[in-house]
Structure 1
Amino acid sequence: MPTSPAPLAPLDQLPIRGLTSGDLTACADLSEDRGWPREEHKWNLLLTAGMGYGIDDPAGKGLIAACVVTSYGPGLAAIGMVLVAERYARRGVGRRLMRHVLAEAGDTPLTLHATPNGKPLYEQLGFVETGRAEMVSGRFTPTEPAPGIPTRPATAEDLQAILRLDTEIFGLDRTPMITRLPAFADELRVAEEDGEITGFAAAWPNMDTHVIGPLIARDTATAQSLVASLAAATDRPLRTDIDVRHTSLLTWLKANGLDSIAFNAVMVRSLPGLPGDWTRRFAPLTVAAG
């Protein structure tokens, strides 16, 4: 007689394992399962620069849950790409994965961008809202021109100055992530005045769009000039996530063809707010990594 298959383990006992770049296709499949873009390019960055966690489907059908944690040392880590397969939604799998990540993080403060659907779970896990980001997307049409502050393509010689400026404004050293930008992004530009770099921004490919991020700049005028110069180098629609406190930049982007798509809550755990200088931090590299 044929043997009956062994009973599947309860969901709260399924093992959680580390993910690597070898899990890229499974992560993209999971994104697609939830109606998200596959975003292989972004997944590859996050899995190589950060630490991925996943739960395998006991039926052997890929991943049923995943997330990625990007560490910036003992001062902060960012959680992103928290996904649960539709067939396992609302069964406690996401909570189990998050509790595991929190335990692994220990005393390290955490941040994440929460959708309206995910926010209640994160609040139950001790996260509090500290700000909001507005996603805007569309074809950039320069109806209202940028101020004309000079920008140029970044060179290898600019890297140390970019790292110094980023650490000053982000508030923590994220060298392992920023040094990947030249290979990850299609365009990386700097603004410069009197030989000093006053801002930088990247445009990286994501499906049929170019995402602008990070966007670090001395002021709104510099941020506008960087965005305009990146837009001039692509024929794809743009997308970016702007801190809602930067109202002048958001108004200018919308006047130039970008539409509001969604709002996310910026949340933190175990710290009162994000480090650094928000007045010069306009957009994250990606909401998944801060």
Structure 2
Amino acid sequence: MTPSPPTSPPPAVRRLTLADLDACVALAADCGWPPEHHKWRLLLAAGRGYGIDAAAGDGPAGGLIAAVVVTPYGREAASVGMMLVASRHQRRGLGERLLRTALERCATEAVFLTATDRGRPLYERLGFKPVGAVTTLRGAFAPAGGQAAGGVAVRAATAADLPGVLAYDLPAFGADRTPLLTRLPAFSDRFLVAERPGGGLAGYAARWPNAETAVAGPVLADDEAVARALITALAAGSDAPLRFDADDRHPRLAAWLRASGLAETARCTLMVLGAPGLPGDPARRFAPYSLALG
């Protein structure tokens, strides 16, 4: 009887660190994504990155061949983002192995993500269920209908506003994301709060630079009028095209953004594992921090 040839051990999954920043950006470029150094730096610092390296002798390319980032929010929830496999290694099960390992190490009640059409079959195999959709809009922003007021005063956030922002965010988002929000003043180039005439926070929003766009996110507000006022103020003073990830739960806001000069560039499915839907109050969540973070 001819002995079976020895089988190769499965590729090892390791934690990624900030030292892997350039490798992550290079892997993303191989998959056709833009060079998002600013976003990757935040993800690797605030989240838990996992990766697989090329085997010895894998040609001159070598290096990181698969990556994913899981960002936990206490024990209630976690987000999955930046699921990537190098083009020369796709359709070999690396993505599924990597994501299964990351999920096994994630001790939270629910996990959510935004899936492209290409990635959705993998997530469905792992038990994720669709619960909505997000449309990415981009363009030169000029507010339809003139300057939005929303019955609030919009101003730049200060250090004294951070406790109020954290208190506002917790019930709206449904989980504690203090580590991310405390990074927001340094990560963003515009951080705003909206106040009611009688006092009290009615919402907050930020804008941050990413490749060739200025990303609006997160945007949380009591209602759509406040969200419009925040978005209008966010867009001021930037020459870069505005990017906004619009949740289907707010179709009127998406219609206003289109009328204000933004056009659809992509569409993703919101998916959840371990819960019937997204945590928190979706009525007050108008834009995520980023698609990778929720």
Answer yes or no: same fold by TM over 0.5: yes
Say yes or no: does 1:56 pair with 2:53: yes
Say yes or no: does 1:218 pair with 2:219: no
Choose from 8, 15, 20 the match for 2:17: 20
Q: TM-score, normalised by structure 1?
A: 0.94
Asked if the contact 1:30/1:83 (under 8 Å) is kept, the reply is: yes
Gaps of 5+ in 1: 1-7
SS of 1:41's equivalent in the other structure is: helix
Aligned pairs for 1:120-269 within 5 A: 120-149=121-150, 150-193=153-196, 194-269=198-273
Q: Distance in 1 between matches of 2:147 and 2:130?
A: 32
2:293 corresponds in structure 1 to 289
Could you tell me how far 1:208 is from its partner in structure 2? 1.4
Report the aligned-residue RMSD: 1.4
Instruction: Return structure 1 stretches of 4+ with deviation > 3 angstroms.
Output: none
Could you tell me how far 1:195 is from its partner in structure 2? 2.0
SS of 1:144's equivalent in the other structure is: coil
Could you tell me how far 1:51 is from its partner in structure 2? 0.4
Gaps of 5+ in 2: 1-5
SS of 2:290's equivalent in the other structure is: coil
Q: Which amino acid aligns with 2:20?
A: D
Could you tell me how far 1:107 is from its partner in structure 2? 5.5
SS of 1:53's equivalent in the other structure is: strand
SS of 2:272's equivalent in the other structure is: strand
Asked if the contact 2:144/2:256 (under 8 Å) is kept, the reply is: no
Asked if the contact 1:65/1:97 (under 8 Å) is kept, the reply is: yes
| Identity fraction in percent | 49
Could you tell me how far 1:9 is from its partner in structure 2? 7.9
Q: TM-score, normalised by structure 2?
A: 0.93
Q: Distance in 2 between matches of 1:107 and 1:31?
A: 27
Aligned pairs for 1:3-82 within 5 A: 10=8, 13-58=10-55, 59=58, 61-82=62-83
Asked if the contact 1:116/1:264 (under 8 Å) is kept, the reply is: yes
Count of equivalent residues: 282
Q: Which amino acid aligns with 2:168?
A: L
Q: Distance in 2 between matches of 1:260 and 1:144?
A: 20
Asked if the contact 1:144/1:255 (under 8 Å) is kept, the reply is: no
Could you tell me how far 1:147 is from its partner in structure 2? 2.9
SS of 1:38's equivalent in the other structure is: coil
CA deviation vs aligned residue, 1:196-242 (integer Å, no higher than 9, x gap): 11111100000111101101001001000101001112111010211
Asked if the contact 2:220/2:285 (under 8 Å) is kept, the reply is: yes
SS of 2:231's equivalent in the other structure is: helix
